[in-house]
Structures are given as C-alpha cells and as structure tokens.
Structure 1
Amino acid sequence: MRLRYRGTCCGCGAAVAAGTQAFYDASRKAITCVTCAGADPAAAGPQPTAPPVAAPIDYGTAGAAARREHERRAAKDEARLRDTWGPLGGLAVALSGERHSTKNWETGAVGEERLGSRLDRLREEGIAVFHDRRIPGSRANIDHIVITSGGVHVIDAKRHKGRPALHVSGGLFRPRTEKLLVRGRDRSGMVDRVLRQVDAVTSCVGDVSVTGTLCFVEADWPLFGGDFTTRGVWATWPRRLAKELKEEHASTTYPINVEQIASLIATRFEPA
C-alpha cells in the first residue's frame, strides 16, 4: 500500500515517508518497509500459491478384475477340497483340475491382457486407453475404453476358439434378424452386453460418438477379410482393431478433446 502519512517501520525502525510503498499488518497495526518485507515473507502478507496439480489418471490394468476373480475362486475350490478330503486334501488338490467355471475367468483375463498390451501401444499416438472399468450401479465392467480424436470406443475382449460369423435371416417378407455365431453357436448375447456398455458410456460423454467392438483374440479368422458389423457392434481381431483406431486418430477432420473426454471417463468409470 502507499502510505498517506509518515510512519516508522516495525522491523528496522527506519522512518517511512508519506507516499512511500509499504506493507500494513492489521493484526499488529504496524507498517513494514519494502526492504524488511522482502527479507520476511510473512510480513509481506499472503503469497501467491501455485495452482493445484490434478491427480494423475489411473488408466487401470487389463484383466485385473478377471484375474482377481480367478484367484478367489481357485482358492475357494482348493479350500473345499481340503475340507472334504481331510488329511488327503493336498493329494486331492494335486490330482484335481480346475473347475470349468473357475478356468473361464483365467481364460478371460489372458484375453484382456493380450488385447490390452496391443492397445497400450496406441498411447504413443496420443490416444487414451482405459482398462477394466466398473459400470456405476452394476456388477459388470468394461474391458477396454479407447478414446481417439474421432470418438470413444467400447471394446469387449473375447478369447473364443472357432470363427465368428454373422447369420442373417428374413428381410423381404419377414423382419430381418441378425445372429452372432461362434463355432455355430448363437452368441448374440455378447452383442447385447456391448450395447449396454455403449449406452452407459454415451450417458457420460453426451454428443461424442461412442461405438462398440467385440475383439476376438484367438478366433479362427480367414486370411483375408472376415470382420463384420452386427447391430452397430464391430466384430474383429486385435491387429485390425489397433490399425483402425490409429488411422481414425490421425485422419479425423474435426477432432474431439481427448484429454477432456478421458477425464470424464476416469471420473465416471473407476477401475474395477
């Protein structure tokens, strides 16, 4: 402040002329000259503080939830065998294979980990990649969420053997129906689950484009082509998926703000 009247510095006792810049301490009802205030930051009053640093985003670990569930089930199965067989429990555990329902969780975890490893390389291009995100209000989770400059991609990893195929019936005189087949079995429920995940993400990002993908990690794809779209969900394999995401990110005419959308996703969908 600029003094209206002559005063004395409470620090060094020097006279401070009227009209001179000085600092006023209301609690002590005293003034401090500029020289003393520079040596004593507390006398200069509140100092400017740096803006808060945003916490780093946790992008998650691919397959983490499935891996934990497999370990939990395996431990439960082992404990049950030991209780049943008593002194022979160790032998029973050694001779018994994993239950099919338990093994499925490990199979799923491996598929997510392999696809996640390939998707992680896209971060070098400025693409945001999330793994294993919990859907609010649901026990379900999303395997992967990828954000390019062209939009958001919800990706469900599948480690199924055999060749995925699209079966279409009806059309001219009957309603058209589409079925996702894997090794001849109807797996259309996979498409339904991805569409629910797409709806959940769309409710978070608003007008930003959100698309769903089923990525079959170890399927028997043909040498040329083979991918297809059913009810808006793309069925493909890891290499093709990564290539398309990279090209979309590089060629989008009106890019979205990847960092801003990533912040929204991180806030709404926590790691599973």
Structure 2
Amino acid sequence: MRLRYAGTCRVCGLELPARAEAMYERATRTVRCVSHEVSTPDAGPGEEEPNPEVVDSGTAGASARREFDRRKAAREERIRAKHPKLGGLILAVSDDPQSTTAWNTGALGEERLGGGLNRLASETVRMLHDRRMPRSKANIDHLAVTPTGVFVIDAKKYRGRPHLKIDGGLFRPRVERLMIGSRDCTKLVDGVLKQVDVVRGFLEPGVPVHGVLCFVEADWPLLGGNFTTRDVHALWPKKLYPKLQAEGPLTADTIAEIHRTLAKALPAS
C-alpha cells in the first residue's frame, strides 16, 4: 500500500516517508519495506509466514513507554476508585509522581535518539532497539552494527553538563567519575559496561564492541565536551552519528550476520 503517514520499517529501521510503497501489518500495526515481503511454501491461502532471515529491529523506547502508560493508568484507576466524585478533578490538578514521569522522560530520550539512528540505517549501519537482556529486567536501548563494530548505546535525557572528574594521580589510585552538573552519575558507566559484556558474549572473538552514553538534551559546551571514561564514550547525537558511519574492517555480509545473531540473542522488548 501507499502510506498515508510516514513510518519506520520494523525490519531494517529505514524511515519511510508518506506516500511511499510499503507493507502494512495489521496485527502489529507496523510497516516494513516492500523488499522484506517473504512468503513460504507452507503458508495457507492468503497467509504469510515469517521468514527466519527477517530481523525485527524493535521500537525505540517501547518498553519504557509501556511502563509509563501502565503506571499512569494504575494511578488514575486508584484515584477514581477512592474518589468517585472528585477523581477527575484531582487528576486534573495534580501531577504524576516522579517515579512515573521518569519512565516518560526515558521513553522520550530513547524515541528521539532512535529516530535519528533510524535515519542512518543502511546495509552497513544496522539498528536494533529496546532489546531484552537475558536473566535481567534491564534493557539495552539501542544497538548499532557498523563497519567499525557494534555500538551499545544508552540514551539519557538529562539536564546539566556531563563532565569527567578525576581523583588521585601519582601517589593515589586514579578514579574517574562521571558527573552531570554536581551529581555523581558514575553508575551510568557501570551500566553500559555490563551491557557491553553481555553483547560481547554473543559475538565471535575480535569483533569490536563500543559502549556509548548518548545525552540527548544535556548542556554541552560550544567546543569540545565529549569524552571517554573506561572505554565508554560520553557524547551527544551529532557526535555519535559520524562514528557509526565511519569506514571499518567489517563487510556488509558480516554486519548482516552479526545483526541477525544479536537480534536472536537479544529479542525486542
């Protein structure tokens, strides 16, 4: 069909403009490129079976968005049940708690970065979004498989200026801390390193895996600003995109194989 509205291919992440020809899947309300249409001989009349080679790239921010909607709906249900007559008024004049709005903030950051990443999608830059980690409640926000390796990207929508604070030196152990404004956010680096280890465990030895903290609304300086701590890059989207498009040793076929491997090992959330 011709799309009435712009969309994103669920397989390769390519942005599809309005009026582009694409396949619309009613069951999931998603679209995909016409080139990804595959039927198998075992499919019944008028039915299409999924091709094992087709990769579900996932939807950026999907799990965070679902959790926000769940918490918001649960709060509304509690208030309306407790205050049948005034519930609507209470909801209108009160805000969701921070524990709920944090999920919305996270989803917005992932969605915004995911849109930019999808615009880079090609045979040599393949994306995966919102992937479930084995035996964990945590998700990996974005994975980019590129000629220079796999990028494990954690999207953050934080206010303040990220910077690196270094303690110690000649006579004391060197300790690097990630600061955002005056807040110590070193735990964010620890989280990315855990994700990098998980991803590396599914790949052949020698495949480079890069950790990235991408801050989508931080207060970066006009010049410089990005830095690396414990092999994790801290930067913003416009600094990230050229890294993903850089030339490297991995071929298009190898990139596609790694993409399939990670998609199978880390399903979409």
Displacement, 1:55?
4.2
Displacement, 1:188?
0.4
Rounded Cα–Cα distance in structure 1 between residues aligned with 2:57 and 2:112 = 16
- Answer whether contact 2:212 2:232 (CA < 8 A) is retained: yes
**Partner of residue 10, structure 1:** none
Rounded Cα–Cα distance in structure 1 between residues aligned with 2:220 and 2:259 = 32
**Partner of residue 248, structure 2:** 252
Give the greater-gyration-radius structure (CA): 1
**Partner of residue 242, structure 1:** 241
In structure 1, give the amino acid aligned to 2:188. Answer: M
**Partner of residue 261, structure 2:** 264
| Unaligned runs of at least 5 residues, structure 2 | 1-40, 43-49
- Answer whether contact 1:125 1:246 (CA < 8 A) is retained: no
**Partner of residue 228, structure 1:** 227
- Answer whether contact 1:59 1:266 (CA < 8 A) is retained: yes
Rounded Cα–Cα distance in structure 2 between residues aligned with 1:126 and 1:209 = 15
Rounded Cα–Cα distance in structure 2 between residues aligned with 1:158 and 1:219 = 9
- Answer whether contact 2:176 2:229 (CA < 8 A) is retained: yes
Alpha-carbon displacement from aligned partner over 1:72-101 (angstroms, at most 9, x marks no partner): 000111112112223211111111111111
Displacement, 1:124?
3.0
- Answer whether contact 2:53 2:260 (CA < 8 A) is retained: no
- Answer whether contact 1:61 1:131 (CA < 8 A) is retained: yes
Rounded Cα–Cα distance in structure 1 between residues aligned with 2:226 and 2:241 = 14
Identity %: 49
Rounded Cα–Cα distance in structure 2 between residues aligned with 1:245 and 1:62 = 17
Displacement, 1:60?
0.2
Match status 1:143 vs 2:116: no
**Partner of residue 120, structure 2:** 122
Rounded Cα–Cα distance in structure 1 between residues aligned with 2:243 and 2:193 = 20
Alpha-carbon displacement from aligned partner over 1:22-58 (angstroms, at most 9, x marks no partner): xxxxxxxxxxxxxxxxxxxxxxxxxxx89x9534110
In structure 1, give the amino acid aligned to 2:259. Answer: A
In structure 2, give the amino acid aligned to 1:252. Answer: G
Instruction: Pick the aligned partner of 1:111 from 92, 109, 112.
Output: 109
Displacement, 1:126?
2.6
- Answer whether contact 2:153 2:211 (CA < 8 A) is retained: yes
Alpha-carbon displacement from aligned partner over 1:88-147 (angstroms, at most 9, x marks no partner): 111111111111111111111010011001111111363110000000111100000000
Displacement, 1:199?
0.5
Report SS of the residue matched to 1:264.
helix
Rounded Cα–Cα distance in structure 1 between residues aligned with 2:51 and 2:59 = 24
Alpha-carbon displacement from aligned partner over 1:217-252 (angstroms, at most 9, x marks no partner): 0001111110001111100000110112112xxx21
Alpha-carbon displacement from aligned partner over 1:175-210 (angstroms, at most 9, x marks no partner): 000000001110000001000000000000132111
In structure 2, give the amino acid aligned to 1:266. Answer: A
- Answer whether contact 2:131 2:266 (CA < 8 A) is retained: yes
**Partner of residue 160, structure 2:** 162
In structure 2, give the amino acid aligned to 1:127. Answer: V
In structure 1, give the amino acid aligned to 2:59. Answer: T
| Unaligned runs of at least 5 residues, structure 1 | 1-48
Query: What is the TM-score of this pair, normalised by structure 1?
Result: 0.78
Rounded Cα–Cα distance in structure 2 between residues aligned with 1:232 and 1:111 = 23
Report how many residues are paired. Answer: 220
Report SS of the residue matched to 2:225.
coil
- Counterparts of residues 74-85 of structure 1 (less than 5 Å): 74-85=72-83
**Partner of residue 201, structure 1:** 199
Report SS of the residue matched to 1:229.
strand
